[in-house]
Amino acid sequence: MSTLNPNLQKPAPPEKGLVSEPVKLILILCLILAVAYLFYEISYSKKANEAKFAQMADQITNLEKANKVGEASLSDLKTYIAGTQEAVGTARAELTKTAQQIQAEGQKTKRELSQALAGKADASQLEAQVQAAKTEADSKIGQVSTEVGGVKTQVGQVRTDLDATRRDLEGTQRQLVDVRDTLSAAVAKNAEELNQLRLKGERDYFEFTVPKKNQITKVEDIRLVLTKTDAKKGKFNMKILVDDSQLEKKDRLINEPIQFLVGKNRVRYEVVVNWVQKDKAGGYLSIPRDKNLSAERPSK
């Protein structure tokens, strides 16, 4: 057997706990893919939710327009009923006038009959005159009765149309309540619920305290002025200064969302007051995170 050279050194064994370079590259690649997938999921969910809120806002606008049209139709129907009632009154007056004319003609006929009898007029001629007067009176009474019957038919049709319009208005109001209930589910009533909304990543939330009545408080790009409070009833009056204009909100309740449009692109902001005290109130301002995607009037 040959002897080994003692000067030759044995290769050092690999140190334990170290990861090879290929494994590191694979782990880094997996981490990058996971982060990219999470970013895609968050972006897709954000766009879908923003589109859903915009669609619900359009539904509210359309329902409010339909409600206004229904109220205008109801006003027109009331005007038409008033006109119909006036026509009925006119018909009744004409009927009374005709009856008076008939009565006068009867008196005239009676006088003529008395005169004829006194003058010993021809009996057949007198009978013909009486029959003609009676026929004319019957004809006038029948004509007036027909006109009154037509007016009653029109009144009945108007009442039917009015009932149908009222049913349509009730359905529209129910739809408005359903949409508002859906929107109210996205309102935070306390700090925990507000944190849950922040985690969705759809909107930015800015908490505020309006410390004093009639004192301007700046919150992001709007200003708030608290003008009146009712702590017992949880009500308040507030002015919102935005875009060189002033929006006055009266008798609002806590946790009731106040929505308004801001800027040329009409981005929908939302103010929610969570609590009211004697001389101050507090809540949060909600702004869409992607204002371009949320714009209700896209810039050209």
Task: Give 290: exposed, middle or buried? Use CB within 10 Å, 0-12, 13-18, 19+.
Answer: middle
Q: What is the pLDDT of residue 75?
A: 83
d(CA 294, CA 300): 15
Burial call 114-147: b when 16+ CB within 10 Å, e when fewer: eebeeeeeeeeebeeebeebeeebeebeeebeeb
Predicted confidence (pLDDT) per residue in 215-247, tens digit: 999 999 999 999 999 999 999 999 999 998 999
Predicted confidence (pLDDT) per residue in 99-131, tens digit: 788 788 878 877 876 776 566 555 566 567 768
* Residues 6-23, mean pLDDT to the nearest whole number: 62
160: confidence class by pLDDT, cuts 50, 70, 90: confident
* Residues 147-159, mean pLDDT to the nearest whole number: 70
pLDDT at residue 2 tops 90: no
Q: What is the pLDDT of residue 221?
A: 93
E runs forming strands in 202-276: 203-210, 216-219, 222-230, 235-242, 245-253, 258-262, 267-276
pLDDT at residue 213 tops 50: yes
Evaluate whether the domain defined by 191-294 bears CATH number 2.60.98. yes
Residue bearing tokens 């609002």: 252
The letter for the amino acid at 73 is S
Residue bearing tokens 């702590």: 231
Q: What is the pLDDT of residue 86?
A: 85
Q: What is the pLDDT of residue 184?
A: 47
Q: Which has the closest alpha carbon to 258: 244, 237, 279, 243?
A: 237
pLDDT: which is higher, 178 or 165: 165
Predicted confidence (pLDDT) per residue in 34-58, tens digit: 898 888 888 888 888 788 878 888 8
Q: Give the start-to-end residue ranges of the domains of the chain.
A: 63-184, 191-294
pLDDT: which is higher, 77 or 279: 279
When the pLDDT of each residue in the chain is averaged and rounded to a whole number, the result is 80
